[in-house]
Amino acid sequence: MAIATSMVLDDYDDILGQILLRLTFATSLVHAALVCRRWLHIVSHPAFLRRFCDLNPPPLLGLYVHTKDLQLPKFMPMPDLPNELTHIVHRAISALDSYPPETNVSISSCLKGRLIDTGILLITQRHWRRILCDGSPPVVADGFIGSIEVASLSVDLVQFWKSCSH
């Protein structure tokens, strides 16, 4: 007799928690949170989110490259990123597209471990001139014309849920 896995997961929070902790990517966790209220409840728990962040350190998605030839910084994704991150990378690539061509945009820094979408929303919806910075100076690589700013464009779940929950 085929028994749906959902039935097991209905009864045991600890089993479900163990499964959700292994989703690896915050993007997958966000989807799982919408499966039903119970899943959302487990996933939203601060202790769960802390464990998830400990077990699944946010990956480096790519770099913003800004040279004197480029009006806008260009996002260069890291090679071989898993499929689950494709759409987030796509957002990063198109993040600055909504600026008029003559706009002078510079990225002063990026939020280490901070949700990329937060930055993008700020830019596209409120037209902020730069992605919020966490105070650390941009990394400038020698030998390049212009500067390369290392963008740790990754997902901080706690921040994410704060932004979702109001």
Partner 1 sequence: MAAPESGDGNNGAARMVTLISSDNTRFEVEAAAASLSQTLQLTILDGGGGGGDGIPLPNVDSATLSKVLEYCIKHAPAAANGGAPNATAVDRAELERFDNEFVNIDQSVLYSLIMAAHNLEIEGLQSLVAKKVADMIKGKSPMEIRRTLGFPDPTPEEQAEMNAHMLEYGWAYE
Which residues here bind partner 1, judged by CB under 8 A? 1-9, 12, 14-15, 18-25, 27-28, 30-32, 34-37, 83-84, 87, 90-91, 117, 120-121, 160, 164
Q: Which of 164, 142, 97, 84 is nearest to 124 (CA)?
A: 97
Cβ closer to partner 1: 85 or 110? 85
DSSP one-letter string for 27-73: HHHHHHHTS-HHHHHHHH-HHHHHHHHHHSPPPP-EEEEE-TT-SS-
Smallest distance, partner 1 to C-beta of residue 10, A: 9
Smallest distance, partner 1 to C-beta of residue 71, A: 25
Cβ closer to partner 1: 18 or 103? 18
Cβ closer to partner 1: 18 or 136? 18
Q: HSE (CB half, 13 Å, CA atoms) of 115?
A: 18
